[in-house]
Structure 1
Amino acid sequence: MVKNALAAQLLKAGLVDNKKAKKLSKQAQHEQRTGQNNDAEMKAKIEQDKQQKLAKDQALNQEKQRVLDEKALVAAISQMISQHKIKDTDGEISYQFIDAAKIKKVYINQQIYNALVSGSLVIAKENNSYAFLPKALAERINEKMAGFIIVNNTENNQATTDEEDPYAAYVIPDDLMW
């Protein structure tokens, strides 16, 4: 298999593969026959390979850590949503909103409906369902990671009107029922 002890050590350390090990052993045999010795060059090459492997391993570890941190953040946000969501929201009034380019409908009571329209409550995605959260908590969640808050009517209520718009004085209510 491998005749050279150095090549065997490199193989065991994972710095070279079988192909490189054979090449190194052939180089060593050639050097012994011809009397040439490139130890310094070979050591520099080995050190360079070690540095490249170390840099690659560090990059992989950083990527793994980033993925783990993101998973932990998602889990923490999901826990915050489940702990602070408003319960007992069932009612007869339908509220429609857009989630992932689809129109969704939930049935809620009048108090929740008024809070949603005024912007004091928001709708957040919780696993496969929706949760109603206070606005302050929604802002904290958005600071940590975007994508959980689906409906936030405070942004719509605070939209600036054009000064040249002739109908700027006429506000269209969001809770208009047809």
Structure 2
Amino acid sequence: MSKSLQDQLLKAGLASKKQANKAKADKRKAKKKAAPQANDQAAQEQARIEKQQRDKALNQQRNEERAKKDLESQAKQIIETSLLSLPKDAEVRYNFVHDKQVKSIYVTADIQYKLSRSLLAIAILEERYVVIPNDAAEKVLERKPEWVILIQKEEKHSEDDDYYAQFEVPDDLMW
């Protein structure tokens, strides 16, 4: 059976028992220190990875907020540059639905006609309603859809309408 170097040195008298015990203690201490260092390195690596992930998420959030602000400013600029000025003495009241509530604005007869034919749209600019052309409304819809209230004309088309279309309405018909 082979003996350890330490046992051989003790037997030969080249080392004392005190030196052997000190060598064992140093060896245990070195092992204990080596294990935590490996754990510390792993923990440091894990902390570094987590920090990178947090920084990446924070940067992504900042980029999204910046993009949202850019879209809002673009939509606002489109509305401001294309809005139709309504005269102060406009007498025609135009009613429309926004957020399940009936709202109204005063417009001219020409603008009312165009709104009713879906040639113009209504947009929200700084908590007030403004009238803008449809092409501008479509551009704003791409950026901020909640800022545009499109006036859609309802086209009801049924089979009954097709059937009755073949009959001519008499000129003397009175309701």
The bucket for the TM-score relative to the shorter chain is 0.5 to 0.7
| Equivalent position of 1:87 in the other structure | 85
Other-structure match for 1:146: 145
Query: Which residue does the alignment assign to 2:52?
Result: 54
What are the superposed Cα offsets for residues 5-47 of structure 1, whole Å, 9 maximum, x if unpaired? xxxxxxxxxxxxxxxxxxxxxxxxxxx8574112233212211
CA pair 167-139 structure 1, distance change in 2 beyond 3 A: farther
Distance 2:164 2:72 in 1: 41
How far 1:78 moved relative to its partner?
A: 0.8
Q: How does 1:2-81 map to 2 (within 5 A)?
A: 33=29, 35-36=31-32, 37-38=34-35, 39-81=37-79
**Which amino acid is the alignment partner of residue 161 of structure 1?**
H
What SS does the aligned partner of 2:145 have?
coil
Paired residue type of 1:83: T
Distance in 1 (CA, whole Å) between partners of 2:140 and 2:156 is: 25
Structure whose CA Rg is larger: 2
Of structures 1 and 2, the one with the larger relative CO (CA 8 A, separation 6+) is 2
- Where do 5+ consecutive residues of structure 1 fail to align? 1-31, 170-178
Distance 1:138 1:69 in 2: 20
Q: For the residues of structure 1 that align with 2:43 and 2:79, how far apart are their CA atoms?
A: 54
2:118: which partner in 1? 119
- Code of the residue aligned with 2:116 in structure 1: it is V
Which amino acid letter does the alignment assign opposite residue 115 of structure 1? K
CA contact (8 A) 2:72 2:143 kept: no
- String of CA shifts for 1:139-172, please: whole Å, max 9, x gaps: 111122311111x23x334x46343678996xxx
| Aligned equivalent of 1:19 | none
Instruction: Give the TM-score normalised by the residue count of structure 1.
Output: 0.67
Cα deviation, residue 92, structure 1: 1.2
In structure 2, relative to structure 1, the CA distance for the partners of 1:133 and 1:168 (3 Å cut) is farther
Identity of counterpart residues, as a percentage?
Answer: 25
Do the aligned residues in 1 keep the contact of 2:124 with 2:147 (CA within 8 Å)? yes
Deviations 1:107-146 (A, max 9, x none): 1110000000011100000112111111111111112231
| Structure-2 residue corresponding to 1:129 | 128
1:163 aligned residue (159, 162, 166) = 159
Secondary structure in 2 matching 1:87: coil
Give the secondary-structure state (helix, strand or coil) at the position aligned to 1:147.
Answer: helix
2:153 counterpart letter in structure 1: N
Q: 1:104 is matched with which residue?
A: 103
Counterpart CA distance in 1 for 2:58 and 2:50 is: 12
Distance 1:108 1:161, change over 3 A: same
Which amino acid in 2 is paired with 1:67?
A: E
